[in-house]
Chains A and B, each alone.
Chain A
Amino acid sequence: EADIYQTPRYLVIGTGKKITLECSQTMGHDKMYWYQQDPGMELHLIHYSYGVNSTEKGDLSSESTVSRIRTEHFPLTLESARPSHTSQYLCASSEVYYNSPLHFGNGTRLTVT
């Protein structure tokens, strides 16, 4: 039973389109994260949030944006998709403590043609 949900699971879209990847969690976690991961490679942090109205950019430069209007919802938006955005995007959440484990969604596999 998943407590953190990502939609869509798979998305194929043309260059230049605007897309929003959805992420919701039911655990009441304050911290939420977006990671990007290519096959066989490390997870790279692209955005994170410590709570409502808090958003920060991660280590990996990204052309995406995020918002955190509600605790449970942390959508990621690409204003104009490009083939270089083709990747897997993982959403995660955790409790406030720095040594809390992350809870992950199932991911969105994005292909931009």
Chain B
Amino acid sequence: ILNVEQSPQSLHVQEGDSTNFTCSFPSSNFYALHWYRWETAKSPEALFVMTLNGDEKKKGRISATLNTKEGYSYLYIKGSQPEDSATYLCAFSEASNYQLIWGAGTKLIIKP
């Protein structure tokens, strides 16, 4: 059974601080890794889709890296703001199936 692990489960960060969290996935037969942001009472919103080992993506203060050989991706948020408070989900797909397998998310709370 394929498994995607996200850590930590939750995270409290002071406004202005930078933070990062991890998504771990099976390292064999990799196809793509997705990151989504899910704010309370809203719908999940895609941040990045990454397909190549060593890939780095950036969107404003948020960036992500990908290591497919060891099976992990990091999401970084620089200078956290209250609007960054959300649950961050990652999902992995393998080349034989392509269906997304989701992690349980990292809940980020920014303290003013």
A residues neighboring B (CB under 8 Å): 2, 4, 40-45, 48, 58-59, 90, 98-107
Q: Using CB atoms, name the residue of chain B closest to A44.
A: B102
How many of chain B's residues touch chain A, expressed as a range?
20 to 34
- Looking at chain A's contact residues, is the secondary structure mostly helix, strand, loop, or mixed? loop
Which of A42, A98, A104 contacts B98, CB < 8 Å?
A98
Q: Using CB atoms, name the residue of chain B closest to A92.
A: B44
| A4 to B43 Cα, complex, angstroms | 10
Contact B32 A41 (CB under 8 A): no
Contact A105 B43 (CB under 8 A): yes
| A43 to B103 Cα, complex, angstroms | 8
B residues neighboring A (CB under 8 Å): 4, 9, 31-32, 34, 36, 41-46, 49, 51, 89, 91, 93, 98-105
- Beyond the given pairs A40-B9, A101-B49, 14 more chain A to chain B contacts, judged by CB atoms under 8 angstroms and listed by A's residue number, are A2-B43, A4-B43, A42-B101, A42-B102, A43-B89, A43-B91, A45-B100, A98-B31, A98-B98, A99-B51, A102-B36, A104-B36, A104-B45, A106-B43
Residues of chain B within 8 A of A90, CB atoms compared: 43-44
Residues of chain B within 8 A of A58, CB atoms compared: 99
Residues of chain B within 8 A of A98, CB atoms compared: 31-32, 93, 98
Residue among A58, A102, A105, A106 with the most chain B CB within 10 A? Answer: A102
